[in-house]
Structure 1
Amino acid sequence: MSMNLSALLLERLGALIHQSVREDAARHGLLPIHVQVLGYLAQANRYSDLPIAIAEYFGITRGTVSQSLAVLERKGLLVKRPDPKHGRRIHLELTRAGRAVLERSWAQRLDAALAAADAGGEALEIGLRSLLAELQRLNGQRAFGICRQCVHFQGSPENASCGLTGEPLAEEQTGRLCREWSQAGGQES
């Protein structure tokens, strides 16, 4: 059975991204999952900067998350902060050193390559979002998405609230990843 060209291109892009993540991790004495967790936390909102959200996002065990967080905390790349409203809930926050690991990272190189290739902009994003949604559905994985693109988002970025939790949202949170994200019509990506 031969792969169609799009599948082959996506497989090759995935391999190149994975190679870049490994190189970034090695440069900082980390494992690839550690760099990926830092990158995720840089994009996560307050509903998603939780250890359980990391496990769901990457499809890894809580034990693996716990071990990874211990390494990142020991290296001074993140700190754990208790949730003022929920007793045992812990939020994860990058330190300055953690953000520095992400400078000139694979994600920035990918952004630069997309800009240089002028790869279709919104049309590419729509196609990739649809592909992601289908793969998540087939794999039974939880969807994550940008807060302000969620069916629960209410108001404007400057004066927003979450219709699911009823809580106000700081403007900077509305452009971040959320584990509670849901697309209108029940379709998730």
Structure 2
Amino acid sequence: MSPTVFVLERLAALLQQLVREDAARHGLLPVHLQVLGYLAQANRYSDIPIAVASYLGITRGTVSQTLAMLERKGLINRSGDDRHGRRVHLKLTAAGEEVLAGSWPQRLDELLAAGGADLEDLAVQLRGVLGSLQRLDGRQAFGQCRECAHFLGEPGSHRCGLTGEALVTEQTIKICREWSAAGTDRQTPAASSREA
């Protein structure tokens, strides 16, 4: 095992431990905290149950049970989509946001910022590793809307080139299940039959 792989393995193990500890502090399982963390950063194309399953690599049944429990605890709510019949959007409640306040991603952000490293360069390198692993394993890539090949941005105006829909600035910094790296030729529309 190379030193880089060793460091990545140790980071992954530590992050899993932090997720378990944060979840236990709120009487949750790690998957519950992972779903909340995902929904906090998902855009309107990605805040649906099928996207949660895809992002976390878990079954629809597990997602269904997890979402039902989070809803019973008042941590998320569901709302219908006026334009797409059966589609259900998931949003964090104030209580759900409170669970995430001070959790491991925020602590890690603070630690990295205080460390003085070139965070943009580190992000680019880690994105490259992540993308390679996703392609190797046949996983769907998720990424930030404004870094997508489909993103069309002009001062004061943003649009998704895949759906043709206007995007508010807040949505452009969220992650999207329809994300595609520049130079790829992905033609799957957001309103595809993959949604359930």
Q: What's the TM-score bracket when you normalise by the shorter of the two chains? A: over 0.9
Letter of the structure 2 residue corresponding to residue 173 of structure 1: Q
Q: CA deviation at 1:121?
A: 1.4
- Residue 180 of structure 1 corresponds to 178
CA-to-aligned-CA distance 1:75-126 (integer Å, 9 cap, x gap): 0000000011001000000000000000000110111121122232111111
Superposed, which structure 2 residues align to 1:58-137 within 5 Å? 58-137=56-135
Give the structure-1-normalised TM-score: 0.95
CA-to-aligned-CA distance 1:30-66 (integer Å, 9 cap, x gap): 0001001101100000000010001110111000100
Q: CA deviation at 1:187?
A: 8.4
How many angstroms apart in 1 are the aligned matches of 2:105 and 2:87?
29
Instruction: Return closer, same or farther for 1:157/1:43 CA change in 2, 3 Å cut-off.
Output: farther
- Residue 28 of structure 1 corresponds to 26
How many angstroms apart in 2 are the aligned matches of 1:156 and 1:102?
33
SS in 2 for 1:165: coil
Percent pairwise identity: 63
Instruction: Return closer, same or farther for 1:48/1:104 CA change in 2, 3 Å cut-off.
Output: same
How many angstroms apart in 1 are the aligned matches of 2:76 and 2:7?
35
Kindly report structure 1 stretches of 4+ aligned residues shifted beyond 4 Å: none
How many angstroms apart in 1 are the aligned matches of 2:156 and 2:36?
27
Q: Does 1:156 align with 2:145?
A: no
How many angstroms apart in 1 are the aligned matches of 2:129 and 2:64?
30
How many angstroms apart in 1 are the aligned matches of 2:185 and 2:18?
31
Instruction: Return closer, same or farther for 1:8/1:187 CA change in 2, 3 Å cut-off.
Output: farther
How many pairs are equivalent? 186
